[in-house]
Amino acid sequence: MNTEAALERATAIVAAWGPAADHPEPARVDVAVARDDLLAAVGALRTASWGYLSAITGLDLPSRGELEVLYHFCEGAAIVTLRVRLPKGDAAIPSICGVIPSASFFERELGEMFGVTVVGTPDAARLFLPDDWPEGVYPLRKDFTPGGAAGGGEPHA
């Protein structure tokens, strides 16, 4: 399928919740979506059978005091990313497992690595972190250094 056409179709599907689509690379479109609109946008892609959820990426943006969650959908070579910004003081996001059940592992990883509360996710237990990992320590946040909780030194010392 033509990648550009696939991207245009996806942009149209989610336009109601993310009108400002960015085209950072030929095969990619990024759409900023408000947290409250996430489920509607994901549901629209699913209903239209546009692609599949390939990955969920967490980002820590310390200069903005925000976290960002990226939902990457792929159809052939086309990639559409729904981007949701969350204030660090209120890092909660609705689970998309009701629409895409296979997102469960992705959401568990996001929760433990970035301290994002995924509201309604079917299983919020740790997936990758050890059982005795301290509560409230999120290793992929920028303020975490491996010298802290995990008891290590500088990794590149």
Partner 1 sequence: MPERFVIPIGPQHPALKEPGHFEFTVDGETVTGASARLGYAHRGIEKATEARTWVQDLYLLERICGICSHVHATAYALGVERLAGVTAPPRAQAIRVLVGEMERVHSHLLWLGVAAHEAGFETLFMYSWRDRETIMDSLEALTGNRVNYSANLLGGVKFDVDTGQADAIRRGIDFLESRTRIYLDLVTTDEVFLRRTRGIGVMTAAQAETLGVVGPTARASGVARDIRVDAAYAAYPDFPVGITLEQTGDLAARFVVRVKELFESYRLIRTVLDGLPAGDLVAKMPRHVPEGETISRVEAPRGELFYFIRSGGRSRPDRVKVRTPTLCNMASVLTLTIGHQLADVPMILVGVDPCFSCNDRTVVIRDAATGQRWTWARLRQHGIEAYR
Point out which residues bind partner 1 (CB under 8 A).
24-25, 27-28, 52-55, 57-59, 70, 72, 74, 76-77, 79, 81, 100-106, 109, 123, 125-130, 132-133, 139-140, 142, 144, 146-147, 150-157
CB 93 within 8 A of CB 34: no
Go through 31-48 and write b for each residue having 16 or more CB atoms within 10 A of its CB, e for each that does not: bbbebebbbebbebbbee
- Tokens for 115? 């301290």
The DSSP bridge pattern shows strands 117-119 and 66-75 to be unpaired
* Minimum distance from residue 89 beta carbon to partner 1 (Å): 21
* Minimum distance from residue 16 beta carbon to partner 1 (Å): 24
Residue nearer to partner 1 on the CB measure, 38 or 69: 69
Closest by CA to 39, choosing from 100, 96, 81, is 96
* Minimum distance from residue 157 beta carbon to partner 1 (Å): 6
Residue nearer to partner 1 on the CB measure, 41 or 103: 103
* Minimum distance from residue 66 beta carbon to partner 1 (Å): 14
